[in-house]
Amino acid sequence: MAIASTSTQSTPNRDASFGNLLKHWRNQRGLSQLDLALAGNVSQRHISFLESGRANPSRDMVLQLAAVLDVPLRDQNIMLTAAGFAPIYSQSDLSAPEVEPIRKAIEFILRQQEPYPALVMDRYWNLIQSNTAAQQLTNWLVHPEKLQHHFCINGRINLMRLMFHPQGFKPFVGNWEEIASHLMQRVYREAFVDGHSDESMALFQELQAYPDAPRLWQQSLPRTWQLPLLTVQFVKDGLSLNLFSAIATLGTPHDITLQELRIESLFPADEVAQTNLANFYRDTRAPH
């Protein structure tokens, strides 16, 4: 279970001075200069001077304001660099020995989720690891050869691409329009609001190029929810799996890779799905 270390950073598409970065994150959090000053225990005048470039922040001030604004670690490094300081947050390889306790914890979570699917992805929706149930679900929906040919790029399967591609999950999702609209809005927020990374923007643009996607992402769809959670309805060969997901992250990370990991666990939304998942898991694991 390894993810390559990369130096790619999520730089806003604007003059990346510290003042502009500070203003960007303050606006994203919906705070006025006075709000930020009060929360950060500094004067409004100082915030104004920092944003205009009339004052330079100390290293501690950069970190203090970044914490108040809940800036991701990747972007805190960018703010530090823009202010003239060295980045302080690392980006680990998950195969590194020092990450072994986290790696074991993730493997435990995936194992305990059986017979229900669970998977681990990075901030760009690239699949890092999955449990047996998730692998079986994926291979049931998309043949492994097709999966490798169409969706494994640079050794990684992108889960958004898998959901939107006409030869991926799309034909087997009964409520695809509803799911696609929700996912497109999420990728948009991540690309244009929560980081502005080139890779997130490229993913959003790619999804926009798939059939039906452009008309959906800003469209309000009729609400026909049976549960107070959005469920995905997988349907194939007369088998129905109505699932909802829970996404977990690692608490109090001091590493970019660890902060950006997402662990998604899928659960049956009804008794039919519960029975079908259990039978599906048992049947696909039975010796032939």
pLDDT in tens, 228-252: 678 999 999 988 899 999 999 999 8
For residues 70-95, average pLDDT: 94
Sequence-distant (6+) residues with CB within 8 A of 195 are 10, 72, 74, 75, 123
Q: What is the mean pLDDT of the chain?
A: 87
Specify the CATH architecture of the domain 97-285: 2-Layer Sandwich (3.30)
Instruction: State percent of the chain over pLDDT 90.
Output: 64
CA angle 190, 196, 201 (to 5 degrees): 75
216 against 195, higher pLDDT: 216
Q: Where are the domains of the chain?
A: 18-82, 97-285
Assigned token pair, 204:
């959003």
Identify the sign of the CA torsion 20, 25, 28, 33. Answer: negative
Dihedral angle computed from the Cα positions of residues 273, 123, 228 and 30, in that order, rounded to the nearest 10 degrees: 180
For the domain made up of 18-82, the CATH class stated in words is: mainly alpha
The model's pTM is 0.84
pLDDT band at 10 (very low <50, low <70, confident <90, very high): very low
* Environment class of 168 (CB within 10 Å of its CB; exposed 0-12, middle 13-18, buried 19+): buried
